[in-house]
Amino acid sequence: MDVTVLLEQVKSGKIAPEAAAEKLRLLSGEDLGYALLDHQRQLRTGAGEVVYCAGKSPEQAAEIFEKLAAAGGNVLGTRAPPEHFEKISVKTPGAVFHKQAGLVSLIQNPPKPLARPVAVCSGGTADLPVAEEAALTAEFYGARVLRLYDAGIAGLHRLVGRLPELREAGAVIAVAGMEGALPSVLAGLVEAPVIALPTSVGYGTGLGGYAALLTMLNSCAPGIAAVNIDNGFGAGFLAARILTI
């Protein structure tokens, strides 16, 4: 909705001033009581809709998911436990569950394929749920994903044989808990931007992912930026955004 166009329509009398005001008000969506939906957002940001399921009851999540699906676009539910998916799948039968990653996705219009792949590298088996959340999110937004799991710093030599593939990626997501050194290593090996994704895997002074995050922020190798601990969705979304521009 372009404001200039609206002003022209007001001038030409096609739209009354009151109606113009009303139009703006409507843009802010319909009120479900607990969540103001925002159908216009997809148009604005070029992205599918997202429902953050944690903190919502299964019924609330399912109702919002259905409303968004009714608008015809793609919908992604994040941090969804199985009981949320059960309720969602009743109202939106086409929804697919990715259990390990806690994602529910509905693809109604396949996204435009992005030009270059996203690489998701991970430091250990325990990081897989977060790594998959990132990988599947990037795919939801049209990216082809190269998965390189168990490529932690203790096994640097394992990365060597995969470097040619890795260097094709337009963005690299480096997933790591514990010491979190993987992003630094990758930033020294590739030219693509590296999205550092710390996980809460670890114990003792791991501080629930904080130690990994600090390592990432203090990296000597430039070309890295970090998202929140365990925020696989954020990393995957950003990777897709980078490849879209």
Residues 46-85 binding a copy of itself (CB under 8 A) are 46, 50, 52, 54-56, 60
Q: Which of 87, 95, 93, 146 is nearest to 122 (CA)?
A: 146
The interface region with a copy of itself, picked from 5-13, 65-73, 87-95, 106-114 by CB under 8 A, is: 5-13
Asked whether position 3 contacts a copy of itself by CB under 8 A, the answer is: yes
Nearest 10 degrees: CA dihedral of 202, 196, 217, 155?
60
Which residues ranging from 218 to 237 are in contact with a copy of itself (CB under 8 A)?
A: 218-231, 233-235, 237
CB 40 within 8 A of CB 48: no
Dihedral sign from CA coordinates of 235, 239, 240, 242:
positive
**DSSP bridge pairs for 174:** 121, 196
Q: Which of 145, 150, 146, 98 is nearest to 128 (CA)?
A: 150
Fill in the per-residue mask, 10 to 49: x = in contact with a copy of itself (CB under 8 A), - = not in contact. xx-x--xx--xx--xx-xxx----xxx-x------xx---
The interface region with a copy of itself, picked from 65-73, 80-88, 91-99, 201-209 by CB under 8 A, is: 201-209
Asked whether position 123 contacts a copy of itself by CB under 8 A, the answer is: yes
**94/231 with CB nearer a copy of itself:** 231
Least CB distance to a copy of itself at residue 13 (A): 7
Q: Which of 114, 120, 170, 174 touches a copy of itself (CB under 8 A)?
A: 170
The interface region with a copy of itself, picked from 82-90, 91-99, 106-114, 173-181 by CB under 8 A, is: 173-181
Which residues ranging from 130 to 169 are in contact with a copy of itself (CB under 8 A)?
A: 149-162
Nearest-angstrom CA–CA distance, 130 and 145: 14
